[in-house]
Structure 1
Amino acid sequence: MLSSTKELLETARRNSYAIGAFNIYNLEGVKAVVNAAEISHSPAMLQLHPSALIYGKLPLVKLCLESAKSAKVPIAIHLDHSTSASDIRLALDAGVRSIMADGSPMTYAKNLEFTRDMTALSHKFHAVVEAEIGRISGTEDGLTIAEKEAKMTDPIQAVEFVNQTKVDALAVTIGNVHGEYKNPPRLDFDRLEKIRSLIDIPLVLHGASGLPAEMIQRSIQLGVCKFNVNTEVRQAYMQALKLEICGDSPKDLLEIAGEAIAAMQEVIIDKLELFGSVGKAHLHDNPYAAMLAGQAHG
């Protein structure tokens, strides 16, 4: 069931769990997310990372949309970390109704301007917009942000940013990182609590791969209702390919693809359990699905 990001996040927030948002790059990734969500009776999100669009923008978008529509559980489609106005417009025209307008690499003033413009555009399509202030360190999809360049989200600045841009969700930086954590994670929960007390829109935490269960639960208690996951799923995919291709008894291409899907699916199910969304699909029988499906065709 193709579903609204807004509805998924608001329902998760009301019921004290979080939505797992998983970056996908190909058919195997899409199948792994949808399969895991259906097995777990859980809502989930398919996230298109800009780097994945290099290999075919519209085909991948359409694959996600059609897979979501045929899924037995609520699935939302989200364009992740986009700094490109043209890619955002392409996604909106193709039927994507959830956008991350990522101005975090820019100065605060430029981020504010870019996010405000992209939010105004996206809202014309009735799309939900996520944005980010602060700068998350780490490496993901070839993008590296040095630790010295990282900047945590300022709670007061976040209020101004949300008020001026009219975004629907905010990704916060509280010590979370993209990619692998080189040291034990240390999240600034006092900062998160302050942000939550000042802002009433859904909060998002990127870099959920590698976060321990107690940090996930504390984040949910303090208002995070969406976690982005990429690294652990990609690692499972690559490891499965390596084992099957380099094994003593090389398998057929379709068998290898099946093993890769199963490996990713296992990781995703674990994350859905960790986020508390398992068994919650029934809470999302929402009136937006038919409307969204019609918009996607347009």
Structure 2
Amino acid sequence: MLASTQELLETARINSYAIGAFNVYNLEGVKAVVNAAEDAASPAMLQIHPSALRYGRSSLIALCLEAARSATVPISVHLDHSTQAKDIQAALKAGLTSIMADGSHLSYPENLKFTREMTQLAHQYGAVVEAEIGRISGTEDGLTIAEKEAKMTDPDQAVEFVQATGVDALAVTIGNVHGEYKSPPRLDFDRLLKIRQRLSIPLVLHGASGLPAAMIGRSIQLGVCKFNVNTEVRQAYMSSLQQEICHDTDKDLLEVAGAAISAMKSVIEDKLLLFGSAHTAHLHDTPYAHLLASQSKMSKML
């Protein structure tokens, strides 16, 4: 079923687990996420990165929305890391009701201005907005951010930012990185605790690929209710294609595609278990869950 991102995050937060948000690029990726979520009886999110949006355009959005509607578990569809107003507007017009307005590459005043404008636009469509304060290093989807450009999220600045922009969820930078961790990850949980103590909206952690279970669990305890996963799923897809094609050149196209789906699905299922969302789909199919999300959104508007 096509679900509200707001409802998914709020229900996850109140029940102390996190939603897995997985970047998708094609039918195989979409099927892997939905199949894994259904087998695990888990909610999940299909995420479209701007690079994937430029590649698949409105057809990719339509594919994700239809897959979510047809799923037997709650699935929401989200535009990830969008830095361009035109992309956000196009996604909203195409039917997305969940977007990330990413102004983290801008100065703080410019980020605030961009995010406030995109939030006002998205809310006109009834859409949920995630934003980012601080800047995450690493490489993903052709975008590289040097470690020296990374900036941790300031807890006090985060409060000001949320109040000024009206965003619905906040991605934080506490030592997490996009892509592969080149050294053992070190997350600043004291910083995360201070942010959680100051903010009531859902918190998001990007760069969950490669984080050990103990760090995932501690992040959830401190209020993170959405993890973004891309690198490990992409690697499973590419590795499967290489293995299938190189080892048996006579294999049928659909056999190769099926093997890729299975490889990605295995990674995704592991993440759903790690995030604690497996066997929680029933929590989202109640009047209370939808009321909770509605009340949360209303409280921020007052």
The TM tier, using the shorter chain, reads: over 0.9
After the TM superposition, which residues 192-231 of structure 1 pair with which residues of structure 2 at under 5 Å, given as runs?
Answer: 192-231=192-231
Partner of 2:293: none
Partner of 2:110: 110
Secondary structure class of the residue paired with 1:210 = coil
> 1:216, 1:274 within 8 Å by CA — same for their partners in 2?
yes
The worse-fitting range, judged by mean Cα deviation, of 261-270 and 281-290 is 281-290
Partner of 2:278: 278
Secondary structure class of the residue paired with 1:72 = coil
Q: Over aligned residues, Cα RMSD in angstroms?
A: 1.3
Secondary structure class of the residue paired with 2:177 = coil
> 2:168, 2:202 within 8 Å by CA — same for their partners in 1?
yes
> 2:11, 2:289 within 8 Å by CA — same for their partners in 1?
no
Write the distance in 2 (CA, Å) between the matches of 1:212 and 1:85: 35
Secondary structure class of the residue paired with 1:56 = helix
Write the distance in 1 (CA, Å) between the matches of 2:37 and 2:10: 18
Partner of 2:122: 122
Q: Deviations over 1:214-235 (max 9, x none)?
A: 0000000000000000000000
The worse-fitting range, judged by mean Cα deviation, of 243-252 and 16-25 is 243-252
Gaps of 5+ in 1: 291-298
After the TM superposition, which residues 151-190 of structure 1 pair with which residues of structure 2 at under 5 Å, given as runs?
Answer: 151-190=151-190
Partner of 1:242: 242
Identity %: 76
Letter in 2 for 1:36: A
C-alpha displacement of 1:94: 1.1
Q: Deviations over 1:196-251 (max 9, x none)?
A: 00011000000000000000000000000000000000000000000000004541
Letter in 1 for 2:145: I
C-alpha displacement of 1:278: 0.3
C-alpha displacement of 1:157: 0.4
Q: 1:14 to 1:289 in 2, by over 3 A?
A: closer
Pairs aligned (count): 290
Write the distance in 2 (CA, Å) between the matches of 1:187 and 1:248: 43
Partner of 1:94: 94
Write the distance in 2 (CA, Å) between the matches of 1:189 and 1:248: 47
Q: TM-score, normalised by structure 2?
A: 0.94
Write the distance in 2 (CA, Å) between the matches of 1:18 and 1:275: 5
After the TM superposition, which residues 7-156 of structure 1 pair with which residues of structure 2 at under 5 Å, given as runs?
Answer: 7-156=7-156
Q: TM-score, normalised by structure 1?
A: 0.96
Letter in 2 for 1:73: V
Write the distance in 1 (CA, Å) between the matches of 2:30 and 2:249: 27
Q: Deviations over 1:132-162 (max 9, x none)?
A: 0101000001100000000000001000000
> 2:283, 2:289 within 8 Å by CA — same for their partners in 1?
no
Secondary structure class of the residue paired with 1:91 = helix
Please identify runs of 4+ aligned residues in structure 1 that moved more than 4 A. Answer: 286-290
Write the distance in 2 (CA, Å) between the matches of 1:287 and 1:195: 30
Secondary structure class of the residue paired with 1:246 = helix
Secondary structure class of the residue paired with 1:182 = coil
Secondary structure class of the residue paired with 2:122 = helix
